Structure 1
């Protein structure tokens, strides 16, 4: 069923993105060592990884990037732990649209440091191992790049599938033509999951309602898509509220919950910056504008002239953390809930 809020684990419940699904499976079959799946928040990356995790044969490790403080020791130890016990494990949580749907697997252990050479020999003697790292950008990017490089060069039977929604940070992990980067010269397959277009969004909602034999007018669906855009996470939450819980105020409930989630994400980001007002002003005006237009609007709302370099640095930071996207020379908010969230930030 499409309208479930937990991450999908069966391909029949996973809408669209078949080309990405098939490409990852083909790539693993031919022995790709590092596969990166990127996309803005709420496009279904975690569900796609979860489907693959449940389908692939052999030993598997699922790592929630938010729980890792020392990638070298902890990732190595987690893989070793799976090999030693000869069973797949999930470290952390698998979550959908950032709503916890329960703990799967075991709680994170505090691994004692072991001899890496000993662990490497043990891992090399096992069969194929697939390591899934969700929200990889939450880790120290340099340390994660180092451990990926180490396994790439020395442990041929381990493949990594990593995902992240803060696209600029994931690019830091993978490196882009930087000779000094740990992964320079090593092949990394990069795939991007994009939001659903209006036609696909319509198809998704109609199909989801048909699955549970629930009737909704096309006018309502059309309005919902305009409000939630093509982010399958929000569309799923709406479908769950409307068809499963039979909530007549499903759209209002969805937008309220979605905005609360985005407020939390944005607040966490703004803790890192000095001029919160500048960043919030940029987000409020980034509704399909060029840099020059955005500069003019920001100057107007800030009631002063903002240094162009200061504006550019702020825009780049928002883009790196996926609170802004750039299409051609146009800047956009990737999530319709971001605008409402800027008015609720305290």
Structure 2
């Protein structure tokens, strides 16, 4: 049993709490052919999926769609992710023997780079599960994958799991509620992950340090939960580093902030000339526990002059789509305490 490992969990004994969500996921594998797992960054989505798939003892391909992060991604790039995953699975290799391919350094390369090859792969997989992790990245794929997934659900036996931390973008990719979208009306199960409650967060740290054979005080655990809240990814990051000799909270927090800061800066760079407005909106919201629309508008107009309502709506919607802010009772807030600190360094 090991809670304080940085890689995604794959065994039930290493996966803390979330028994309801895990059992829901496992049971849904036999009831639904399309499952959506949602939650902000570092909430444990990948660990839930991998642990659940292994607990259910099903064959699966796990496709990390973060490898497609670019303004536009080619079908060839997407096929390369599938090739790499199929190459790791002997059962998958056996099932696609009728598709023309060669090997380069042990990695399968399909001879033809066309959508019909993808169809052939999925046809041969039977009722195996195909996981699209961080599936919102597929929105930039030149090949319209949502139409392909709809076809697969209608005519093939594969089961599909998609996950996403940029929840708004995931919603825009899937478009379940759009009558003109390929996936409209398809039966699916949605599982949403949330942060641990305070007592659960304390219990997670306490058990994790017991596993590591490290004695810690209640004050240290309280301080950790105060700084990292119930975000299990950050609690794990803290426990991992502390148990391995970094016995000061500040450098661990600082390293976490720098990780998030790089993500935020990348997002702002993609906003072009409008990046300064996005930055100011984030700073305004991060400075308060919760922030109203009118307060964000006041702060932006004080710095940039008049901001049309439609422009502000677009800024806030994009920040929510990327998981940087959340809306609670018509107000905006930063859910991740480390993200809140990182924004202050922009």
- What is the TM-score when the length of structure 2 is the normalising length? 0.83
Q: Counterparts of 1:76 and 1:236 in 2: how far apart (Å)? A: 28
Q: Could you say which residue in structure 1 is the equivalent of 2:93?
A: 85
Report the secondary structure of 1:289's partner residue: coil
CA RMSD, aligned part only? 2.8
Please give the residue correspondences for 1:143-154 in structure 2 after superposition, counting only pairs within 5 Å.
143-154=144-155
Whole-Å separation in 2 of the counterparts to 1:175 and 1:169 = 10
Give the match's secondary structure for 1:309: helix
Cα offset, 1:119, TM superposition: 6.6
Match of 1:210?
210
The residue matched to 1:235 in structure 2 has which SS?
helix
Unpaired segments of 5 or more residues in structure 2?
97-104
1:31-66 Cα deviation digits (max 9, x unpaired):
x11111011001011111221343343432111102
Cα distance in 2 between the residues matched to 1:35 and 1:255: 34
CA distance in structure 1 between the aligned counterparts of 2:341 and 2:74, rounded to whole angstroms: 36
Instruction: Tell me: CA distance 1:214–1:150, structure 2 relative to 1, closer, same or farther (3 Å).
Output: same
**Pairwise CA distance, 1:192:** 0.8
Counterpart position of 2:29: 28
Q: 1:229 Cα shift?
A: 1.6
1:47 is matched with 47
Alignment of 1:139-178 (within 5 A): 139-140=138-139, 143-156=144-157, 158-178=158-178
Provide the C-alpha distance between the structure 1 equivalents of 2:138 and 2:121, rounded to a whole number of angstroms.
Answer: 25
1:267 equivalent to 2:269? Answer: no
Aligned-pair CA distance for 1:298:
3.4
Change (3 A) 1:117 1:316: closer
Which is further off, 76-85 or 160-169? Answer: 76-85
What secondary structure does 2:29 align onto?
helix
Matched residue, 2:14: 13
Secondary structure of 2:327's partner?
Answer: strand
Relative to the length of structure 1, the TM-score reads: 0.83
- Aligned to 1:239, the other structure's residue is in SS state helix
**Aligned residue-pair number:** 323
Q: Residues 225 and 151 from structure 1, CA distance in 2 versus in 1: closer, same or farther, beyond 3 angstroms? A: same
**Which of the numbers 74, 98, 109 marks the counterpart of 2:79?**
74
**2:252: which partner in 1?**
254
Identify the residue that residue 65 of structure 1 maps to in structure 2: 65
Question: What corresponds to 1:135 in structure 2?
Answer: 134
Where in structure 2 are the equivalents of 1:191-202 lying within 5 Å? 191-202=191-202
**What CA distance in whole angstroms lies between the structure 2 residues aligned with 1:86 and 1:52?**
24
| Superposed displacement of residue 199, structure 1 | 1.9
